[in-house]
Structure 1
């Protein structure tokens, strides 16, 4: 067959042949068999948890998307995943299309305490022995690459080494092949490996073909908590998520979002007392407004002072309206903010220029939020296509009123994480979260009494969000 999968497989065969010249097949097998096979299969245990498990992926690129992460601090990414509650980590070791390596796998397995699966295009049992030596807890076996006898043989070799096998299928025929080969974990890929198109319903549609005593994993194309809810309702045991996490600058926050946790931003902080209230109520973000036309505006030097008082686990967002890029960069370089929010008419070209300016000035790779005033589906489409790292949906800066939420409900296919703003407070935040599953909600004026922040209102909102 002439397709992407076979092209990668042929390249992998050549890679394995080269590897055998460095370490012979006999020597690699000897090294693997010298290691303890009595592992207890931790990868399977991690996937058998009561709720849906998350396998979080480390990959720099892919054939379908090209370069995904130009900056790829893979050890920090893996540690972030572990800290954020990942059940397991998937590490790509294919070098040509995914820019992975066996070194990356070995370093990650040594740095984390959760199971790690070697994700590669297994075409030779050598790769299974190699995975054991590199410290992996599991290997990927793809039905489309292996005949049934070879698949069974590879699974048996993995079993003998104490490695789990995630057996990947795409259709009912391959699922039956995996079952006959003795698979204990079957993953259904929502991505067609022949043309790399994605249909997130694929795993759900094939769930009934896999017996309940076999762990079931949905792979690829998962972007929202709604996707997770659909798969949870289908009795899926685990999800494997790659691109959605790799494109997120704050990966723990994105994993929280996929797990269903909505974050909270309280904007318009301008007094030391406001910061004290934030440290007590503990929102995820606070906002400093740098637009001189707004009554809650703070001067850059005051923001720097307030940031110094803020609990380091709470992130500060700088809110700007049609600001000069140099002004934003200078505030970012001062360390006063952790994220940038643009609330004017800043278009895609402005955002790209700002990203370049931050990078060139050594101001850090700060996530950029772009706010959109939502009056029509066209506004939602523009928001979905924005090059910003996150989008914020509002009725217009500072109105204190929600936009017409039926627009969001009626816009089919909107699958981008977003911050919801406008008229949100303790009374309606829970309903908004349950209805829309936003990445975060943003509140300001609803948390004030006589024009200043009210700790009781802040506390009520924080509790409403966290309880939801």
Structure 2
């Protein structure tokens, strides 16, 4: 069954509603330029209150390695998700399992996958102006091809209305959503979260 990560969590209420709806993982963004940025202190309090079996994922963009590892320890992160230009060597020095994000323009965007030895790859839509969270989709044929190179978590423009089609076409290990289930940046919509998870997992 497809795993679901709800990203851009900024409050305990949203974390618990996502967990109760069946989310497998919750994403916390530690990137000041994001409208969903969360302070480590707040993230730590939210993560400490999560039910068991829900994974806490910390998202970073070109951050200092020490900051990533210190934040992971401080917050109790299970996984680190890297959305910048972090090198394979950088990924090896992160003291958590790593998911490396790739911004996909076409098949050529998959070439770096061979250089990274990470737990999984988050495939997101390319934007020259953002490191994710754009709400844009990309050619899912690229995601199908990427499955031959590693574990794929599909992101980019997913919503309750298209995630079932995405899962049917790509059959990814997991899906990752943020803006597609929001009322506003950083504030989740209960109905959309519930519908998204049901659609992704096939509980129509």
The TM-score with structure 1 as length reference comes to 0.40
Query: CA distance change for structure 1 residues 401 and 413 in 2, over 3 Å: closer, same or farther?
Result: closer
- How many angstroms does 1:408 deviate by? 3.8
2:195 pairs with 1:460: yes
Contact 2:147 2:172 survives alignment (8 Å): no
From 143, 150, 163, give the equivalent of 1:416.
150
2:110 pairs with 1:370: no
In structure 2, the residue matched to 1:185 is none
Query: CA distance change for structure 1 residues 426 and 384 in 2, over 3 Å: closer, same or farther?
Result: farther
In structure 1, the residue matched to 2:129 is none
Query: CA distance change for structure 1 residues 351 and 415 in 2, over 3 Å: closer, same or farther?
Result: closer
2:186 pairs with 1:447: no
In structure 1, the residue matched to 2:61 is 321
- How many angstroms does 1:377 deviate by? 1.6
Contact 2:119 2:151 survives alignment (8 Å): no
Query: CA distance change for structure 1 residues 413 and 276 in 2, over 3 Å: closer, same or farther?
Result: closer
1:278 aligned counterpart, secondary structure: helix
Q: Which has the larger radius of gyration?
A: 1
1:334 aligned counterpart, secondary structure: helix
- How many angstroms does 1:335 deviate by? 4.2
Task: Give 1 or 2: higher helix fraction.
Answer: 1
Contact 1:275 1:309 survives alignment (8 Å): no
Runs of 4+ in 1 over 4 A off after TM superposition: none
Deviations 1:165-200 (A, max 9, x none): xxxxxxxxxxxxxxxxxxxxxxxxxxxxxxxxxxxx
Deviations 1:108-165 (A, max 9, x none): xxxxxxxxxxxxxxxxxxxxxxxxxxxxxxxxxxxxxxxxxxxxxxxxxxxxxxxxxx
Counterparts of 2:146 and 2:49, CA distance in 1? 43
Contact 1:303 1:336 survives alignment (8 Å): no
In structure 2, the residue matched to 1:426 is 160
Gaps of 5+ in 2: 127-131
Counterparts of 1:459 and 1:413, CA distance in 2? 27
Counterparts of 1:305 and 1:343, CA distance in 2? 24
Counterparts of 2:171 and 2:113, CA distance in 1? 17
Give the RMSD, CA atoms, in angstroms. Answer: 1.7
- How many angstroms does 1:413 deviate by? 7.8
Counterparts of 1:297 and 1:288, CA distance in 2? 8
- How many angstroms does 1:278 deviate by? 1.8
Q: Give 1:17-416 correspondences, 5 Å limit.
A: 261-354=1-94, 358=95, 366-396=96-126, 397-409=132-144, 411=145, 414-416=148-150
- How many angstroms does 1:425 deviate by? 1.3
2:33 aligned counterpart, secondary structure: coil
- How many angstroms does 1:414 deviate by? 2.5
Counterparts of 1:274 and 1:466, CA distance in 2? 20
Counterparts of 2:154 and 2:147, CA distance in 1? 17
- How many angstroms does 1:444 deviate by? 0.5
Counterparts of 1:376 and 1:467, CA distance in 2? 28
- How many angstroms does 1:308 deviate by? 1.4
1:372 aligned counterpart, secondary structure: strand
Gaps of 5+ in 1: 1-260, 359-365
Count of paired positions: 197
- How many angstroms does 1:266 deviate by? 0.4
